[in-house]
Amino acid sequence: MTTRDEYSPEQLAYLAAQVSLTSFKMLLWKDYLHATHLELIDRALMRVAEYVETGGARGIGRLAIFMPPRHGKSQTAARLFPAWFLGRNPTKRVILTGYAASLVDKHSRFTRNLIATDRYQDVFPGVALAEDSAARNSWDIALHEGGMDAMGINGAITGKGAHLLIIDDPVRGRQEAESALMRERTWDSYTNDLYTRLEPGGAVVLIMTRWNDDDLAGRMLRRTSGWKVIRLPALAEAGDLLKRPAGTALWAARYPAARLEEIRGDVGFYAFTALYQQAPKSREGALFKAGWIDDARVKQAKDLRRIVVAVDPAATSSSGSDETGIVVAGMAYKDRVSEGYILADGSLRGSPDAWARAAIGLYRKYKADAIVVETNQGGEMATNTLRTIDRNVRVVSVTAKRGKALRAEPVAALYEQGRVHHVGNFDKLEDQMCQWTPTDNTSPDRLDALVWALTELMLKQERQGVW
């Protein structure tokens, strides 16, 4: 028996590369950059290989990887992993697909060319390309039945089978993601074509940057079971898989937190939440569009003529109750046309005393001229709660006599006209604005407060406190 001491360091590296995807990458990829998140993905992909190798007895049969752009997901899962997998399993076949044939052709060519290198042959002796495997999108392993076929997500795959199906970025971009027709086409391609190509005991790997909560990933997770999900937001959130503190960058060596904050400012909240945080929010049917908010965003407000704090009180103060919406807004004139500025979102969940103190604190901080409070839920109680804390505060009571959508539509029109500016980012408020649709049964408290504030500043015309 040969002992470990009898192997040279080079031979030990080859042996390690056979059993470890991370070791394989370090040995075969000259531009390899180690990162904790990529090592996590490597371990999951190794378990996918285990699933195929054991006929589904062990390992991961359905793996979804959601990561930001340019963080190494395709290089690892669509290029290097297939090469490692085929070295261990030369009789197996891989189908690689994505939004464009040209993209997956490049991935396939990379994998094919890597297998043709001498270093690969050192790691996996006897695993070589068939002599007639010149095509970059369809090639075979010599003397075996294995190989790879690459095609666009809507391409023809009739007659081809796979032990490993890899779907890499099936969505081309924002326009395609927002098209219900294109989403349906992609879903049909997966259910009617791709999935039916899977051999018994075969595995599926989905690699995506999320765009829409009804994208292919969203539908797969809702409609099928057995998925292992690796979601790695660019900036860590609570419960992070890598145990990062909140706000920590995923790959600080390439994209430090400061750079990610710049990107957030450049692309806007909606796009950043989807593409970088992997938490897309559907906006179909929403009255407010993320683009309207982003296009009119400013760093500071100037020459404000009026400032109000608007409050939409929650019906109860229990731990499971809705939040009380509290929004600070100002108004200025530009060429004799009023423009609105959202200055702060102080919404919270708490008792009437808690929200009243928060509202009055903002009233004083921003030197507002009034607190606008909806009195539908508690009648005069809301006004009395405020005046118990500060009897000199000016309170404007408003009563909702029309539905939320009818109240919000004129405010949405102001946004569409570019007349409302957010001074900085208000993630939770903007999330609610871009998610809520008139058919929802939810209570968008932050949005309601915003509507009351802008109605008071820009739309109210002797309505006597009723809107």
Are residue 341 and residue 229 in the same domain, yes or no?
A: no
| Predicted pLDDT at 4 | 60
Give pLDDT tens digits along the chain (467 positions): 455 667 888 999 999 999 999 999 999 988 888 899 999 999 999 999 999 999 999 999 999 999 999 999 999 999 999 999 999 999 999 999 999 888 899 999 999 999 999 999 999 999 999 988 677 889 999 999 899 999 998 876 667 789 999 999 998 887 787 777 888 889 889 988 899 999 999 999 999 988 877 788 988 888 888 999 999 999 999 899 999 999 999 999 999 999 999 998 788 777 888 899 998 765 567 888 877 888 899 999 989 999 999 999 987 655 556 789 999 999 999 998 999 999 999 999 889 999 999 999 999 999 999 999 988 765 578 888 999 999 999 999 998 888 888 899 999 999 999 999 999 988 888 878 887 888 777 778 999 999 999 999 999 843 443 33
Domain total of the chain: 2
Inside any domain, residue 467: no
Using the 3D structure, point to which of 171, 206, 235 is the last residue of a domain. Answer: 235
Are residue 122 and residue 14 in the same domain, yes or no?
A: yes
Are residue 30 and residue 173 in the same domain, yes or no?
A: yes
Are residue 381 and residue 453 in the same domain, yes or no?
A: yes
Are residue 114 and residue 186 in the same domain, yes or no?
A: yes
Are residue 151 and residue 299 in the same domain, yes or no?
A: no
| Predicted pLDDT at 249 | 98
Inside any domain, residue 306: yes
Residue-range definition of the domain harbouring residue 64 = 4-235
Inside any domain, residue 275: no
Using the 3D structure, point to which of 214, 235, 256 is the last residue of a domain. Answer: 235
Are residue 225 and residue 307 in the same domain, yes or no?
A: no
Do 187 and 214 meet the contact criterion of CB atoms below 8 Å apart? no
Inside any domain, residue 271: no
Are residue 438 and residue 333 in the same domain, yes or no?
A: yes
Inside any domain, residue 465: no
Inside any domain, residue 282: no
Inside any domain, residue 330: yes
Are residue 294 and residue 443 in the same domain, yes or no?
A: yes
Are residue 209 and residue 300 in the same domain, yes or no?
A: no
CATH number at residue 128: 3.40.50.300
Using the 3D structure, point to which of 196, 218, 235 is the last residue of a domain. Answer: 235
- 35 CB burial (10 A radius; 0-12, 13-18, 19+): middle
Are residue 220 and residue 355 in the same domain, yes or no?
A: no
Distance CA 456, CA 454 (A): 5
CATH number at residue 390: 3.30.420.240
Kindly report the pTM of this predicted structure. Answer: 0.67
Are residue 422 and residue 296 in the same domain, yes or no?
A: yes
